Amino acid sequence: MKVVFNVDVRGQGKKGEIKDVSDGYARNYLLPRKLASEATADAINAIKLKEKAKAAQAAKEKAQAEEYAKKLDAVQVTVRAKAGNGGKLFGAVTSEAISKALKEQFDMDIEKNKIVQGDPIKSFGAYTVKAKLGYEVSGNINVLVVEE
């Protein structure tokens, strides 16, 4: 009997997967516990529609990531920081500060955990920071740290 799994069943299948199982196992265990439902034509079509929607959403997100990567290469983000004598910053410029500056200056919403800094920025100057935008797309953020 073909069934569509409603939840992950250890050793049998994952949620949304269509699989052929024995009739007794399906009737006596999977169906009564609502772990799976019978694979009717409607259920199969619904799963295919969900997969198409997921693929379309992924393509849209990848296109947005590529667009952001192109924009990031063309802009320079200015981050203001306080410093003591000798140009040393109090603390460091964080990924969160860079993310906020991108949002304020260029209306680009990039999460702080997607910004990767090799070494912490602890002095004034121009730096290049990498941003992993997802879907194997990355861009470079040009950061200019100036005195507040």
Whether domain 2-58 has CATH 3.30.420.40: the reply is: no
Instruction: Tell me the longest C-alpha to C-alpha distance in the chain.
Output: 79
Confidence band, pLDDT 50/70/90 cuts, at residue 25 = very high
SS3 content of the chain, % helix, strand, coil (to 5): 40, 35, 25
The CATH T-level fold of domain 61-147 is: Ribosomal Protein L9; domain 2 (3.10.430)
Report the distance separating Cα 84 and Cα 124, nearest Å. 11
Confidence band, pLDDT 50/70/90 cuts, at residue 109 = confident
Token representation of residue 127: 């730096």
Q: Could you give the residue range(s) of every CATH 3.10.430.100 domain in the chain?
A: 61-147
Reported pTM: 0.68
Torsions phi, psi for 65 (to 5 deg): -65, -40
